Chain A
Amino acid sequence: DGGITQSPKYLFRKEGQNVTLSCEQNLNHDAMYWYRQDPGQGLRLIYYSQIVNDFQKGDIAEGYSVSREKKESFPLTVTSAQKNPTAFYLCASSDLQGARVNEQFFGPGTRLTVL
């Protein structure tokens, strides 16, 4: 079955440590996205990538970094510079070439808690 996987589901880190969240998709989608969601809030775009080896900052990129070395993978690093990293992180992908360009497919999310 095609889909998006994120690991781990829950992650705990000490303040000041960098942490990398994994996102893999086997949908052959060109575009991938990272969102952050805080309790009771909507999704805020951190970074997105529409092609391998290229990515763009979203609305809240400060304190985060990404890479897109392969079409299938879009890992997100939460650095120690991110002042309030505890949140629910969602990865998504979409097919920019197909008829369903409007539809984003989401992974199950990673809940990061910084102690």
Chain B
Amino acid sequence: GQSLEQPSEVTAVEGAIVQINCTYQTSGFYGLSWYQQHDGGAPTFLSYNALDGLEETGRFSSFLSRSDSYGYLLLQELQMKDSASYFCAPMDSNYQLIWGAGTKLIIKP
């Protein structure tokens, strides 16, 4: 079967670093994507990991361990505008993204 686990909510302070973990189980696996969605908006693509290791894009980094079916999104130098929901979305063998309920990131000043 398919399953996806992320924390439902994470709280952090402006300027700090936060890590959002994701564990998954899919039928076939091509890679792991991360999306950001602000309240009332559409998801926007953040990053994609096809291979093990860390991918860095500015303040955001994403990590994948295929053997552990685990990944995380690391957000550094948090800003108030980073308050949003973050979704990890593994891609299965049919090129379909698997979506969970996401992690709501709350940032306090």
Contacts and interface: CB of A to CB of B under 8 A. Distances in A.
Contact of A105 (B45, B97, B99): B45
A29 to B, nearest CB: 12
A109 B43 CA distance: 10
Interface string B89-103: 001000111011110
B48 A102 contact: yes
Given A48-B96, A109-B42, A42 B48 contact: no
A90 B42 contact: yes
Interface residues on B, range: 10 to 19
A50 to B, nearest CB: 8
B73 to A, nearest CB: 15
Contacts of B95: 31, 50, 94, 96, 101
A42 B45 contact: no
Contacts of B42: 90, 106-109
Q: Which of B30, B31, B48, B96 has the most CB of A within 10 A?
A: B96
B50 A102 contact: yes
A35 B97 CA distance: 11
Interface of A: 31, 35, 40-45, 48, 50, 90, 94, 96, 101-109
Interface of B: 30-31, 33, 41-45, 48, 50, 87, 91, 95-97, 99-102
